């Protein structure tokens, strides 16, 4: 009897062995996430460094919410030489542009004071009384009660005010180049805060408790004040 020939079985497909991943090791997703986090941290660090550099180069100015008036919108702006009047004739027309309000009473939530000196070729110029006080009808958050140079910042809400706003209430030009009719470089001038030169835009100087602010225009005085003795209670 003839022996049957068996048909050989077709070859089996063998799957190539796959590389096993250590379940405890980092996945591609976690590696990508780690790289993204590192990149984000680096970007944040660069932004923070840039912000600090801006503050330093601006002489410590930090405009935290204060309003810098657009001088083109200020009615009756005084652009001549000192002395300057209180600027009351056109004060109501400047309120909105300056970012202050017509108040019936002095605000008590924020109540701080600064002292302002202005020297022109060594001569002390008076900061007039009544700046920001309109004919007994209203007063603004920034005002003066007398000719001593004391600025009163009295607001019903807690917020920052800057020197540019005070000059806007006063109606006297103030920007990075000019104060009133004195413009650098034709007439060089410098701002000092507590006896130290201020290199930023003076309009952006945030007003803080018991600052001594001095504008020295032209020839400086014998001594530049670094402090002021405020009366008791101020």
The rounded distance, in Å, linking the Cα atoms of 109 and 206 is 17
**Which of the pair, 144 or 22, is modelled with greater confidence?**
144
165 touches 145 (CB < 8 A):
no
Mean pLDDT of the region 106-135: 97
Q: What residue spans define the domains of the chain?
A: 29-58, 71-217
Query: Does the pLDDT of residue 28 top 70, yes or no?
Result: no
Higher pLDDT: 194 or 13? It is 194
Residue 173 pLDDT > 90, yes or no?
yes
Torsion of CA 50, 51, 56, 57, to 10 degrees: 60
Looking at residue 23, its pLDDT comes to 45
pLDDT exceeds cutoff 90 at 201: yes
Residues pairing with 117 in the sheet: 214
How do residues 204-225 score in pLDDT, each as one tens digit?
A: 999 999 999 999 999 999 999 9
Q: What gap in Å lies between CA 192 and CA 173, rounded to an integer?
A: 18
Q: Which of 15-24, 65-74, 155-164, 182-191 has the lowest mean pLDDT?
A: 15-24
Structure letter (DSSP) for residue 171: T
Residue 38 main-chain phi, psi, to 5 deg = -60, -40
> Residue 7: what pLDDT?
52
Maximum average pLDDT range among 27-36, 41-50, 65-74, 223-232: 223-232
Distance in angstroms (rounded) separating the CA atoms of residues 37 and 209: 42
- Whole-number Å distance between alpha carbons of 179 and 71: 12
- The answer on pLDDT for 175 being more than 80 is yes
Computed over every residue of the chain, the mean pLDDT equals: 83
What whole-number percentage of the chain has pLDDT above 90?
68
Q: Quick one: pLDDT at residue 34?
A: 53
């Amino acid at each position: 009897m003839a022996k049957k020939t068996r048909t050989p079985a077709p070859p089996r497909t063998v799957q190539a062995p796959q590389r096993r991943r250590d379940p405890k090791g980092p996945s591609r997703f976690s590696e990508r996430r780690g790289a993204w986090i590192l990149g984000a941290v680096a970007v944040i660090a660069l932004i923070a460094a840039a912000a600090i550099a801006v503050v330093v180069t601006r002489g410590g100015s930090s405009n935290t919410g204060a309003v810098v008036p657009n001088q083109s919108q200020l009615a009756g702006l005084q652009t001549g030489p000192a002395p300057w009047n209180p600027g009351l004739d056109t004060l109501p027309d400047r309120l909105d542009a300056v970012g202050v309000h017509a108040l019936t009473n002095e605000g008590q939530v924020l109540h701080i004071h600064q002292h302002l000196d202005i020297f022109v070729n060594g001569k002390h110029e008076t900061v007039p009384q009544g700046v920001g006080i309109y004919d007994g009808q209203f007063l603004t958050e920034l005002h003066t009660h007398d000719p001593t140079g004391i600025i009163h910042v009295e607001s019903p809400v807690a917020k920052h005010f800057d020197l540019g706003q005070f000059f806007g209430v006063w109606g006297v030009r103030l920007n990075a180049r000019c104060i009133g009719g004195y413009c650098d470089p034709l007439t060089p001038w410098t701002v000092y805060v507590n006896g130290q030169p201020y290199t930023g835009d003076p309009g952006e100087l945030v007003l803080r408790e018991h600052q001594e602010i001095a504008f020295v225009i032209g020839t400086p005085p014998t001594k530049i004040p670094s402090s002021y003795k405020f009366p008791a209670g101020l």
